[in-house]
Amino acid sequence: MHWQTTRHRIDLATPRVMGIVNLTPDSFSDGGRHAGTRPALAHCEELVAQGAHILDLGAESSRPGTAPVSLEEERARLLPVLREALSLGVPVSVDTYKPALMREVLDLGADIVNDIWALRQPGAREAVAAHPSCGVCLMHMHGEPRTMQRVPMEGDAVPQVLAFLQEQTAALGRLGVDKARVVWDAGIGFGKTVEQNFALLARQHELLAGGHPLLAGWSRKSSLGAVTGLAVHERLAPSVAAALLAVERGARIVRVHDVRETAAALQVWNSTISAVLPAQGRAGRSNP
């Protein structure tokens, strides 16, 4: 399984770590510590050194209750960092829902468009479809960031998320976008209850039936705080645990703040899988 992007064909046989680079002054998780071009670039370099396979740059906060920012403000935060991050040797994703900005970052060479609106803003699908090879991550969101947690979705989230992602992918396919370019994200915390979020993790195999690689974004989410009682800055252990559980249930990319710790945990997981497979092979040979 691979993810086709602008400059890279990402091998997903091994789970990949996507490092989060918040360029906003009001991030829920790091309080804008990396806002500004120089701190953001230093953070990009640090995440790559820690083992990030992909960088995800976001210049507009999507935390519940947040207000949107203008295209001009998002551009000013994002573009200077993107230009430099593209030289770091790893795929670079841009977290945006604005079609004009999608076109601009793709012209600069960005590898992936990561859209919380799943390309539902007018012109977004066309912006991606016009590019010959960029990757795209389609995410499920119920409602919109300002109100999504006031009135979360009702009922069984799993079939609703699956149907939504299938519908958005089909719409993109009708514009000629190859399946290999598309990854799905269930949208943990985006208009869902705590119970619905954990149902999406427990029953992740039902989403895998859709035939697209899954990206899991559990890092420091409020659902982890709800079940542990831990504040945002204390959620390292539950974030790593959730990432591992997602990978064990078939996710191929985990989007995280704590790259070093997640990468180390995945090394242990990979070593376990590597040890099991040869043993299975020996068992098979001894029982023809």
What positions carry a catalytic annotation? Answer: 221, 255
Residue whose C-alpha is closest to residue 253's, from 54, 8, 51: 54
Q: Using a CB cutoff of 8 Å and minimum separation of 24, what contacts does 67-76 make?
A: 67/146, 68/145, 68/146, 71/98, 71/100, 71/101, 74/98, 74/101, 75/101, 75/104
**Helix locations, 109-221, DSSP H:** 124-129, 157-173, 194-202, 204-208
Distance CA 95, CA 102 (A): 9
Are residues 255 and 219 in contact, defined by beta-carbon separation less than 8 angstroms?
Answer: yes
Return the CA Rg of the chain: 18
